[in-house]
Copies of this chain bind each other. A is one copy, B any other.
């Protein structure tokens, strides 16, 4: 049943993308390797042909999650400048649609406190991802000193991550929507 090199590479990529989705949706600890492999249409035994351990999958899937999520975020602001771009980023990031659909969910908000318990590799990936988010915001600010821009981007990113994470805890949809809306409004009027 050996597969060609191209097929093998595709399979690895598919497992990664699947894991990136399932980890963000269901959490890392609650997702077994069997869950991931079955979601990818495979049996669990083949996992170790592609990865050395669950931790390695976690770390690579996290990187994949950042790529998917923040590529989409950047796309939401392309062609826009300054305030318009910032609004677009905030409204895209904090939309109820992105709260409910984990395909391009931000892993910082989706996995949040789980990342603190990851290994050094995983936390390193999380740190770089966080810096990318700050950079995306910062690049859209106009007429601020570097220091002011950094502070504003850091706080805005914290607000966005916190708000999205919290909105997913609330079981009442109306309250959850209101939380996102209040935060969008607050960030828009800065």
Contacts and interface: CB of A to CB of B under 8 A. Distances in A.
Interface of A: 26-27, 29-30, 108-117, 120, 123-124, 126-127, 130, 150-152, 154-155, 157-163, 165-166, 168-172, 175, 179, 182-183, 185-187
Given A158-B162, A159-B159, A162-B163, A113 B182 contact: no
Contacts of A154: 163, 179, 182-183, 186
How many copies are assembled? 2
A117 B165 contact: no
11 contacts: A27-B113, A27-B116, A30-B117, A110-B113, A116-B169, A123-B170, A155-B163, A157-B166, A158-B159, A158-B163, A165-B165
A112 B168 CA distance: 10
Contacts of A117: 26-27, 30
Given A29-B29, A30-B29, A162-B161, A187 B112 contact: no
Q: Which 9 A-B pairs have the closest CB atoms?
A: A162-B162, A155-B186, A29-B29, A112-B113, A112-B112, A158-B163, A158-B162, A154-B182, A159-B159
Given A155-B186, A182-B151, A166 B130 contact: yes
A150 to B, nearest CB: 7
Nearest to A27: B117
Given A116-B169, A117-B27, A183 B155 contact: yes
